[in-house]
Structure formats: structure tokens, C-alpha cells
Amino acid sequence: MKRPKFQTPLGMHDILPREQKYFEKIYNITKNIADFYNFGKISTPILEQAEIFEKGTGESTDIVQKEMYTLRTKGGDLLALRPEGTPGVVRAYIEHGMASLPQPVKLWYFGPFFRHERPQAGRYREFNSFGYEILGEQNPIIDTQIIQISYNILKELKFKNLIVEINSIGDSQCRPYYKKLLVSYLKRKESLLCQNCKKRLKQNPLRILDCKNEACQKIAQGAPQMVDHLCDECKYHFKEVLESLDETEIPYSLNPYLVRGLDYYTKTVFEIYEDTPEGRKIGALAGGGRYDNLVKLLRGRDTFCCGASGGVERIIDILKIRKTADSYKTISNKVFLAQLGTMAKRRTLKLMDEFKKQGVPIAETLGKNSLKAQLRIADRLGVDYTLILGQKEAIEEVIILREMKTGKQTTIKLNKIVKELKKRLKK
């Protein structure tokens, strides 16, 4: 066949009609889960000021130094095709005064991104991602919920043998000391490092820990581990995240060398893989973590944040092998779940999974501690029922069901609440 004169640029691809069903399937699932967990959709411009990514993502990262597509406008502004989603979402959060809204603000997105890197399996220069961001909440339960959301999306897409790799990279209190230890160790091995990592040793030594070069990986395995040098606050935060993950029964493994390639991460970082031959070949299907400094870095005020994103093409590459594409219906909330105390919040994560499996829409504000504030939100949402789970109820394995129209309250066994609510909602 004669080679066509014009072709798509290297690393970019057409999405043909026969492939659209995969994109629609992933979009429907991500939207339904966003609706279930009460995330609002946000669409940011494909072109942003390059400085947003230089400041946010990090000037020494591969994305900024090698992979970002930039252009100079006629007016002299330096713009970039967005290489990732979080800095643009944070810019919108600051620009539109979202800090004055009830916190946390929960946002999600789905769309194209651009990176100038070598095309390979699961990697394109134009690619699509979905992402979820929770801005304005410090509670470590939010980290677990972001992991749970990412995990649930992949489960609904029929992925099996999923594993969450997780680590804590500390914060501005403990990371500087760890960096000194790491650099001291790596300098003794400098001659064995690849050329990229020799540069990283001066600019961003943490990135050496996830280098894919075999020699660098061997060196990294003997390096000091960040989890051994966390400050008390980071240690407590990470412990809470892991204990909440235990409650959800999501399989995870500690990876002390996981750092993610972006400078804005603090404390929790994670990636989700499918532990199959094709899954390991493709790489991480989703990943993210906490980024408590990014809003301030982009000239906003101190704001605690956590988020994650997933690679659509990577997921589709595996779905194509399995030839699966289903349709999904949207959902709306008729039930609100209020919770008080650490034990109740942890039980809430598992309970919400049970409601989701049974197709019962439910709303919540996991980061809120005041019952009054939660009931006010339930009123605003116009739900039919509010469930109240406190420390006492969690211990006694019961939950309070409140009828919002009448105010009548009934105590029900925790293991019977899903069935009871399904019956009431049918009426």
C-alpha cells in the first residue's frame, strides 16, 4: 500500500470510531464515580502559562526540562500545552476564589495532555487522563479515599490482581535532612550512576530512586529509606493512611523507593498496577498523592490537598486485549452518611463500598468532624435519609437512620443497613 503523504505527528494518534467505545466506557465510569463521591467537573485550558508548570511541577523535573511543549505568543507570553492536570486545577482554584467556598472543594477532570517523550507501550505525546483533586482538607482519611476512588475505577473496568504501591516522602520538616543522607550515600556511588542521574544528584536526588536504569536501581536498593526518617507528624499521617487502607481491604505494598516524578508531592504518594504480564509492561495505571504546598507555591494561601490521575490510553491498551466495553448509568444521591470520630470514618470507607456495590447512591463529607455541619450539608443536598455513625455506634456495630422530612430516627444493625435502605428507597 502506498504510504500516505500526511500522517499524525510522532507519538500522537487518531481515535477512530471503533475505539471511541473504550473512551466512552472510561468516561462514563469516571463520571459516575465522581457523581457518587460528589466531585464537580472542571475543564481547564489546554494552553496555560508555562510558569505554572515550572513552579508547580518543578524546574528540574523531566516534564519541564525535556517534555513540555512551549510557544511564545505575539505578545511575548510563554505558554505551554498542559503536560499534567493538577497545576491547572490549582490555578483555577486560586483564580476563582474557591478557597472561600465550603472546604474541601472536590474537582475532577477528563481530557488531553501533552508531553514530548519517546513513544512506547502506553506512552504517547498526546494522551488522555482523568483526575480527582480534593483541595482544602488535611485529614489523612482523604488520602485513603483518593486511593479508594482510583482503585474502584480500575475494578469497575474489570481489572484484576490490582496492587497499590505506597510510600511517604515526608514534608519540608523532615525531607531536607533525608536529602542530605541520600546525597551523601549517592555521592559514594556517583561513578556508577547513569548520565541523567548524575545531573539529578545536583538538582533533584529523590528522582534517582525511581530511575529505570538497571545499575541505578541496584544502587537505589541500598539507599536510606525516607520512611525511616519521617518527622512525628508525617509518621502519624502515614500510619493513619495505612490503617484506613487496612479497613478498606485494598491490597497494598510499601515501596520505599516510590517518589513520583513531580516536585509538589508531600507525604503520601502511590501508584496502582495490575500484577499481570501485560499490566507490568504497561506500567502504573493510576497514581497520585498529597500536595500540601502547591497552592501556596502558585501564590495562593496555605491549603492541604490530595489527588490522583489515571492514564486513559494505558488502560485502553489492556482493555483492547480483553475486548471489553460496557455502558453505565449515572446516579444521584438520596442518602447522606454522617460520621464522627476516627473509627467511624474508617468504617465509612468500607460501608460506602458496600452501598456502591448495591447501586445505592450516597453522599458524605469525610473530612468534616461536626455533626451539625454535616447535617446542614445533608439538608442542602435534599436527601431523603441521613445515616449517623459515631464511635459508640461503630463499636456496637449499629447505625442511626434519620428520616429527613420527619426527623424520626431508628437504630439499625450495621450489616443490615444497605438492605434496609434499598427497601425504603424502592418505596
Q: Name the domain boundary from 299, 322, 345.
A: 322
Tens of pLDDT along 116-132? 988 776 688 999 999 99
Number of structural domains (the chain) is 2
Do 352 and 273 share a structural domain?
A: no
Tens of pLDDT along 80-89? 999 999 999 9
Looking at the domain assignment, is residue 142 inside a domain? yes
Do 413 and 348 share a structural domain?
A: yes
288 touches 145 (CB < 8 A): no
Looking at the domain assignment, is residue 238 inside a domain? yes
Q: Name the domain boundary from 322, 350, 372.
A: 322
Tens of pLDDT along 35-93? 999 999 999 999 999 999 998 887 767 788 888 999 999 999 999 999 999 999 999 99
Report long-range pairs for 370-378 (Cβ below 8 Å, ≥24 apart): 371/338, 371/340, 374/336, 374/338, 374/339, 375/338, 377/102, 377/336, 378/336, 378/338, 378/404
From the number of C-beta atoms within 10 Å of its C-beta (0-12, 13-18, 19+), residue 71 rates as exposed
For 206-219, what is the mean pLDDT? 88
Looking at the domain assignment, is residue 199 inside a domain? no
Whether 260 shows a pLDDT value over 90: the answer reads no
